[in-house]
Structure 1
Amino acid sequence: MILLYNIGVRSYYSLLFIASFFNKKAKQWINGRKAQSFVRYPGSIWFHFASLGEFEQGRPVLEKLKEKHPGRKIVITFFSPSGYEIRKNTHLADAVYYLPLDTDANARRFIESVQPNMAIFTKYEYWYHFFHNLHKRQIPLYIISGIFRPEQVFFKWYGGLHRRILGFVSHFFLQDDNSKRLLQGIGINNATVSGDTRFDRVWANAQNPKPLLEIAAFAGDSKVFICGSTWPADEQLLAHLITKHPSYKFIFAPHEVEEARVAELAASLQVHQVLRYSHIVESTVLDEYNVLIIDNIGMLSSLYQYGHISYIGGGFGVGIHNTLEAAAFGLPVIFGPNYSRFKEAKDLIPLHAGFSINNENELETVAGKLINDETFYALASQNAAEYVERQKGATEMILAHINA
């Protein structure tokens, strides 16, 4: 099984290498790992995140550990370029790297070079050689905000190697009771249901958001519909709302912000007064526009403070993106049909704070109800914010165990 795993890892690298000749992200993934040299930080705390979303999810634990242990170094690794490129200069870490390819030699070299005495992985990513080498060196390894589903390989008859990987973890901090039952079913009992640290992160952000003066000027006295992490399938539906609800202004923050992608979005909305964020200059009269496109990464979590209703993209693809950032600000959230893997979306629906739609007519019905029925909107907004507030507290539970 180890042989097959190693072949799979090498094959993945080979495919990315080929893709790097014509795909920007694949090229970053390959080139970013080529020239890395690791600084030795004995006794450091190593955090690994798959991408930017997991960084934000694990950030509350990172910040608290840094606050409680100011003398200890923090080392961060990312698997994805979308996390590394945006957070490679974060003030929260003493060093930020791409996670090397999961081979035994790479894992030994990284751990022996950095010399951490604790490793924390957020939500998922289970790498055999890194976990095995941490285990051999008796370095505690924690999974925070972990979540498991029955269809995952760990719970299949052929998942023996992957179950062995789970056995290298010192303790699991899980999002829900179902995940704990699944682990217990395969003989893993070192798990605590602590909740999802994302709630701590988004709640803290909503209490003290970063002001965005250009966004405030664009919004003016109008109500704002924020379309976050959208894809073309989402935008085709949303475009119709702009004409039907002229009292609202619309902000689009597409999931991908490459020039061709943003230009395509702007062209599809050209019947409206559309402005790209990067085109704002001192002389721009922002309140003359009714559609703003955010063509950068990193603003979305602060945008929601200026919103009233939100649409979260991805539900017509592999799955919806982060609904909690909007809900924390009391924004009702609308999303497409592919949300079954997202507990928070399933929780928001019966609270009438989250709404799943399948087509343009359903989107118009939900949006119209929220826009025109003030009582319905007020209850949805209140329920969204209260749901996030009730769920926070995972960070303190995790820290109490780690520091015990």
Structure 2
Amino acid sequence: MSTQPRPTSATAPPVHPTRPADPARPADAGRTVPPADTAPAPGTAGPRRATRVPPAAPGTRPLPPLTLALDPADTPACTRTALAAHDPARGQATVHPTPGTAHTADLAHDVMAALGKPDAAPSPWTTRPTLTWAAAAAHARAMRLGHLIVLRAHLLTPARLHQLLLFQQRTGAHLTLVCHRAPTPALTRALAHVGHSVTHGLPPYAHPPHPPRAATTVGAGTLPPRPATPTWLTLPALTRLAWPHTPTPCDCSPPPPHPDHTPFPTPPGRLEETLTRLARLSHPTHAAALATALFTGAPYAHLSTLTPPHCHPTRPTLHLHKPAHHHTPARCAAHPIPAWARPFLHTATLYHHYLTRTPTSPFTSWRTEPATDLADLLHTAEHCRLRPPQDPWGRPGGRFRLHFPQALPDGPEWTIGVWLDNLPPDLQTAALR
């Protein structure tokens, strides 16, 4: 049975969870919490998506940004209600941590899966808590998540609790931790100096708008069929993606786009399917890079010159640089940004902000270790089953296949424009003649 939230003591009044914090006064002022960003995230202006977390009544203390919901009997109705409240489109998500996992990054992947971002190509990036939790916060902030419910909070380790508190500070979303046992010492210590409320059962704002349906027994043969492996999508825009030469950055002002300029042609009917696959990626940089290549046709050499300031959601164009190289003239250009690409660029900008925590240099690229080099980007494209036209020029010396332990056996050939002996070191170990 739910009761009204009971605020606990805190050294300073917490900020209301549904209202973004004032950049001049951080939400964690006066409280001992994990370190958070000191600068406001770029491109986050605008109202937050409405949530069901109730506002404070006039003359009363604001609701703390965290709720500890106690369910010591581990009642099925509590779990069923929390799962029924999952609705990311309305700004509320419920996370049921994967049983048997203990790594801190695994919970970040659970959060991103709850937000509709479950896909990630196997790479060292997937095991780095700093990178994966920054990606989870970027996705949640871009989607304007207002409320996150985490079940089985009594099983959370101190490291996972630390990252969840940092996630709440970065996104401003209300965090509800559902404890199905007596609070553990780790949970008690983590919340000792954090403003929070305690409820017995789920608080009213953690309930779905409609009561959940009673559990039913599923008979044999009624389960939905397992989704088939997606087919390969051949995209001409990826023809030059694997060109590895990285030009020297320049500070020129690219010419404005031609009035007759149109995005790189995509075969009819394939754009929607491609965007659906990219929207499921958990790596913000890879999703943004592939989306940019989709409407510019630019190779990796040009994408590596892309900087977060050029990807602000309000900018009409995106600048890619290619200074003159030997006998090749300069090809710097400004590309108009289609509406469908802006969410990808916005999320990648937030991700970069959470990793750097400092003002962005005009020449700071998104290549953050360890998984943003060309080989990993191509591996992500293959994971989405996106490929360029096979053998477009018929040159046997300029094609290669990725050779990873998790590489797809039917992976495509990538054209690089140079002979295999001239591949950079990061591709020499990943290429198969």
Question: Higher Cα Rg: structure 1 or 2?
Answer: 2
Structure with more helix by fraction: 1
Query: Which of structures 1 and 2 has the larger relative contact order (alpha carbons within 8 angstroms, sep 6+)?
Result: 2
**Normalising by structure 2, what TM-score?**
0.27
**Normalising by structure 1, what TM-score?**
0.28
